[in-house]
Amino acid sequence: MFTSIQREVNQFINRGLDRTLRIAVTGLSQSGKTAFITSLINQLINIDNVTNGHLPLFEAARQQRIVGVKRIPQINLNIPRFDYEANLNSLMASPPQWPQSTRGVSETRLAVRYHNSGLFSHIKEKSTLYLDIFDYPGEWLLDLPLLNLNYQQWSLEQQNLRQGLRAELAQTWLEKTKKLDLTAMADEDILAQIAKDYTAYLQACKEQGLHFIQPGRFVLPAELEGAPVLQFFPLLHLAEKDWKKLKEEAKPNSYFAILNQRYDYYKNKVVKGFYENYFVHFDRQLILADCLTPINHSRQAFQDMQEGLQQLFKNFHYGKRRLINRLFYPRIDKLMFIATKADHITSDQIPNLVSLMRQLVQDGGRHVAFEGIETGFTAIAAIRATKQVLVEQEGKTFKALQGIRSKDKRQVTVYPGSVPSRLPSIDFWQQQKFDFDQFEPQPLESGEIIPHLRMDSVLQFLLGDKLA
């Protein structure tokens, strides 16, 4: 009898200390999500309670309190598994390859077995922290603001974006849209055709390095490919009075009505679906961005990434006017923006990269404090592709990088130049071009831990408090 009660109390304590943390990883496209998660898993499962030299900044590992980390079966059987093995294999291939990027959501589950410290250690020696790691396209996160916008408001927002490169790329579908009699009875084939042109425009924006792509499913349709819910587009040429008139006059089967209906369906089913099935359940969110590639591209690409990151950031901004935030608040308690590919610059430039990231996200670098959300900014290399070397030239010593350059697959030693710590002015851009190289991964031996830069600082931010 006593043992039974004792067992129950023990189980109760165990359940209380064994915790689950749902971690979401996303990023603007090409930000290196797959490489990041592959490395995150690799760093963790290589922790033992003896030596953890690969993670000096991760306290629980340094203190040898982590007994071991294992991959275990995920809970959601209908979500694709994150294919860690395949990604690791591509790094161990000869020549090594960057892991293939995913096109939808994926999941992986880890069990972290650790020694309790402090007070808890007297009640229970060891606990398990379960990590559910979700990888999802940044485009899905970029869609969340739609929940606060009706079709007219969204069209207006899109209108404000139409400038420079976008205006150029938008021509074909804009012309067709203007010619459409919105009060006429809708012809599905014509809608499908214009939507195809609109989707091609979004794809072209993406290919040109622009990041603020809305609606995100248009470029990553998966099972919705060809469905009417992805066959609408914003109306950029209408003035306020046109909207008013159309709302009063357009019949239920008119182009105007059908476009409204499809927008609403997209918002209420697709976006809200992601929101309810995934987003509200996340405990912590990492947002990855490659800040170097858009600097190479153009001023517009850079500003577009800024727009994208700020839109992402707004989703976490607890403001009175934003119903959506009140709904999920305060489930997410930690949020980190991570500049990736920090091995593509020399170490002295890393503070600039972090500062730039913060500027990009926070619009002028204002520190925005959220009630209950701790926000971090860092720069890392999930899979380190270069070595830093010292080069002597004309009596002076420079830091330089050695690695296999992607564009010509040659081993090179380069000085990648400096990273601006603030948003460069227009003048600056006209005078100077950035040219940060891409590098191929280094050969990885079987059993070797993936070389990284500062992944331990991410682990400390993400897990430190939970393993205390």
| Residue 71 CB burial class (10 angstroms; 0-12, 13-18, ≥19) | middle
Q: Is 72 in the site for a second copy (CB under 8 A)?
A: yes
Q: Is 262 in the site for a second copy (CB under 8 A)?
A: yes
Preceding peptide of 330 cis, ω within 30°: yes
Q: Which is nearer to a second copy, 104 or 417 (CB)?
A: 104
Q: Is 85 in the site for a second copy (CB under 8 A)?
A: yes
Do β-strands 334-339 and 374-379 pair in parallel, antiparallel, or remain unpaired? parallel
How many CB atoms lie under 10 A from the CB of residue 376? 17
Write down the least CB distance from residue 242 to a second copy, Å.
23
What is Dmax (Cα atoms) for the chain? 84
Number of residues this chain uses to bind a second copy (CB under 8 A): 34
Q: Which is nearer to a second copy, 23 or 105 (CB)?
A: 105
The Cα–Cα gap between 446 and 242 comes to: 65
Q: Is 81 in the site for a second copy (CB under 8 A)?
A: yes
Q: Which is nearer to a second copy, 258 or 339 (CB)?
A: 258
164 within 8 A of 241, measured Cβ to Cβ = no
Candidate residues 69, 141, 258, 356; the one interacting with a second copy per rule CB under 8 A: 258
Restricting to residues 357-416, name those near a second copy by CB under 8 A.
none
The Cα–Cα gap between 338 and 92 comes to: 25
Question: In sequence order, what are the residues at sequence separation of 6 or more whose Cβ sits closer than 8 angstroms to the Cβ of residue 46?
Answer: 54, 449
Among 460, 379, 380, which Cα is nearest to 52's?
460
Candidate residues 57, 67, 227, 449; the one interacting with a second copy per rule CB under 8 A: 227
Part in contact with a second copy (CB under 8 A); list of ranges 45-53, 61-69, 115-123, 216-224: 216-224
Question: In sequence order, what are the residues at sequence separation of 6 or more whose Cβ sits closer than 8 angstroms to the Cβ of residue 76?
Answer: 107
Write down the least CB distance from residue 203 to a second copy, Å.
18
Preceding peptide of 95 cis, ω within 30°: yes
Restricting to residues 188-207, name those near a second copy by CB under 8 A.
188-189, 192
Candidate residues 78, 430, 431, 446; the one interacting with a second copy per rule CB under 8 A: 78
Candidate residues 147, 149, 224, 423; the one interacting with a second copy per rule CB under 8 A: 224
Question: In sequence order, what are the residues at sequence separation of 6 or more whose Cβ sits closer than 8 angstroms to the Cβ of residue 420?
Answer: 295, 352, 356, 428
Write down the least CB distance from residue 430 to a second copy, Å.
45
Q: Is 269 in the site for a second copy (CB under 8 A)?
A: yes
The Cα–Cα gap between 377 and 292 comes to: 16
Q: Is 80 in the site for a second copy (CB under 8 A)?
A: yes
Q: 3-state DSSP call for residue 27?
A: strand
Candidate residues 181, 225, 371, 394; the one interacting with a second copy per rule CB under 8 A: 225
Restricting to residues 25-64, name those near a second copy by CB under 8 A.
none
Residues of the shown chain interacting with a second copy in the complex, contacts defined by CB under 8 A: 71-74, 77-81, 83-85, 104, 106, 186, 188-189, 192, 222-229, 231, 253, 258, 261-262, 265, 269-270
